[in-house]
Structure 1
Amino acid sequence: MSTPASAAAPASRAAPRGASRMRWAIIWLAFAGLTINYLDRSSISVALPFMGEDIHLDKTQQGLILAAFFWSYDFCQLAAGWYVDKVGARRSFTIAAVWWSIFTMITAAVHSFWTLIGARLLLGAGESPAPATSAKVTATWFPQRERGLATGIWDSGSRVGAVIAIPIVTLIIHFAGWRTTFIIIGILGLAWAVGWWKAYRDPDKHRRVNAEELAYIREGGARIAADDDAEAAKLPWRRLFRYRTVLGMMFGFFCLNSVIYFFITFFPTYLVEERDFSLLKLGFFGMIPGICAVLSGWLGGWLADRAIRRGVPVTRVRKTIIVAGMAGGSVIILAVIVPQAWMALALLSLAYASLTFAGTGIWALPADVAPSSAHVASIGGIQNFASNFAGILTPIMVGYLADETGSFVLPLTIIGVIALVGALNYLFVIGKIEPLPVPRRAVG
Structure 2
Amino acid sequence: MLQSARRPGRSNMRWWVAGLMWAAIAINYIDRTVLSAAAPKIQAEFHLDAIQMGIVMSAFFWSYALLQLPAGLLADRFGQKKVLGFAVLWWSVATAMTGLASGFRSLVTLRVALGVGEAGAYPSNAGIATRWFPRKERATVAGIFDSGSKLGGAIALPLIAWLLAAFDWKMTFVLTGLLGVVWFAVWLVSFTDSPVQHPRVSAAELAYIESDKGAQRAARPVRPQWRKLLAHRNVWAMCIGFFMINYNSYFFITWLPTYLMKERHMSVLQMGWMASLPLLASIVVEIFAGWASDRVFASGKLSLTATRKLFLVVGLVMASSIGFAAFAQSAWVAVLLLCIAKSGTTVAASQVWALPGDVAPPNAVSMVAGLQNTVSNLGGVVGPVITGAIVGMTGSFVPALLFSAALIAIAIVNYLFLLGKVEPIQFGDPSLETRIHEQADLGA
Normalized against structure 2, the TM-score is what?
Answer: 0.88
Partner of 2:320: 330
Which residue number corresponds to residue 420 of structure 2? 431
Cα pair 1:315 1:433 within 8 Å, conserved:
yes
Pair 281,116 (structure 1): closer, same or farther in 2 beyond 3 Å: closer
**Partner residue in 2 for 1:368:** 358
Name the CA shift for 1:62/1:396 in 2 (closer, same or farther; >3 Å): closer
Amino acid at match of 1:412: L
Deviates more, 1:233-242 or 1:203-212: 233-242
The answer for the alignment partner of 2:125 in structure 1 is 134
Partner in structure 1 of residue 281 of structure 2 = 292
Secondary structure in structure 1 of the residue aligned to 2:9: coil
Cα 1:174–1:400, aligned 2, differ >3 Å: closer, same or farther?
closer
Query: CA offset at residue 37 of structure 1?
Result: 1.1
Change (3 A) 1:66 1:131: same
Q: Tell me how far 1:335 sits from its aligned partner.
A: 2.0
1:166 maps onto 2:166 in alignment? no
Once the two structures are TM-superposed, the CA of residue 332 in structure 1 deviates from its matched residue by 1.9
Q: Do the aligned residues in 1 keep the contact of 2:225 with 2:427 (CA within 8 Å)?
A: no
Distance 1:405 1:57 in 2: 20
Kept in 1, the 8 Å contact 2:36–2:253? The answer is: no
- On the 8 A contact 1:148/1:361 being kept in 2, the answer is yes
Matched, 1:31 2:29: no
CA distance in 2, matches of 1:256, 1:113: 28
Return the match for 1:356 from 346, 366, 376: 346
* Structure 1 segment 30-429 matched on structure 2, within 5 A: 30-50=21-41, 56-59=46-49, 61-175=52-166, 177-201=168-192, 202-224=194-216, 227-228=219-220, 230=221, 233-237=222-226, 239-311=228-300, 312-372=302-362, 374-429=363-418
Cα distance change of structure 1 residues 304 and 96 upon mapping to structure 2, 3 Å threshold: same
**Cα displacement (A) at 1:282:** 2.4
AA of the residue aligned to 1:80:
A
CA separation in 2, counterparts of 1:351 and 1:199?
A: 37
Equivalent-residue separation in structure 2 for 1:345 and 1:117 (angstroms): 30
- AA paired with 1:394? G
CA distance in structure 2 between the aligned counterparts of 1:52 and 1:333, rounded to whole angstroms = 27
Q: Which amino acid aligns with 1:411?
A: A
Deviation at 1:408, TM superposition (A): 3.1
* 1:198-230 deviation line (CA, Å, top 9, x unaligned): 1111111111111111111111353455553x4
Q: Assess if the C-alpha contact under 8 Å between 2:129 and 2:138 holds in 1.
A: yes
CA shift digits 1:219-276 (9 cap, x unpaired): 1353455553x4xx21244542121111111101011112212222222333334434
Find the aligned partners of 2:272 and 2:96 in 1 and give their Cα distance: 26
What TM-score do you get using the length of structure 1 for normalisation? 0.88
Give the AA of the match of 2:98.
T
- Unpaired segments of 5 or more residues in structure 2? 1-7, 434-444
Any conservation in 1 of the 2:233–2:418 contact (CA below 8 Å)?
yes
8 A contact 2:153–2:276 mirrored in 1: no
Asked whether the 8 Å contact 1:324–1:423 carries over to 2, the reply is no
Secondary structure of the residue aligned to 2:312 is helix
- Tell me what 1:3 maps to: none
Question: In 2, are the aligned partners of 1:248 and 1:425 still within 8 Å (CA)?
Answer: yes
The alpha-carbon deviation at position 18 of structure 1 amounts to: 3.4
Q: Distance in 1 between matches of 2:170 and 2:325?
A: 38
Partner deviation per Cα, 1:110-157 (whole Å, 9 max, x = no partner): 444433332221111111010111111111111111111111110011
Deviation at 1:94, TM superposition (A): 0.7
State the distance in 2 between where 1:119 and 1:242 align.
35
2:18 is the counterpart of 1:20 = no
SS in 1 for 2:23: helix
The aligned amino acid for 1:378 is: M
1:37–1:216 Cα change, 3 Å: same
2-structure distance, mates of 1:253, 1:351: 15
8 Å CA contact retained: 1:248, 1:429: yes
After alignment, is 274-283 or 237-246 more displaced?
274-283
Q: In angstroms, what is the RMSD of aligned CA positions?
A: 2.4
Runs of 5+ consecutive residues of structure 1 not aligned to the other structure: 1-16
Write the distance in 2 (CA, Å) between the matches of 1:356 and 1:261.
Answer: 12
Q: 1:395 to 1:106 in 2, by over 3 A?
A: closer
**Compared CA separation, residues 405 and 129, structure 1 to 2 (3 A):** same
Query: For the residues of structure 2 that align with 1:112 and 1:175, how far apart are their CA atoms?
Result: 22
Q: Which amino acid aligns with 2:310?
A: T
Deviations 1:269-289 (A, max 9, x none): 333344343444323333221
- Structure 1 residues 237 and 194, CA gap change in structure 2 (3 angstroms): farther
- Secondary structure class of the residue paired with 1:287: helix
In the alignment, is the contact (CA less than 8 A) between 1:82 and 1:237 conserved in 2?
Answer: no
Which position in structure 2 is the counterpart of 1:5?
A: none
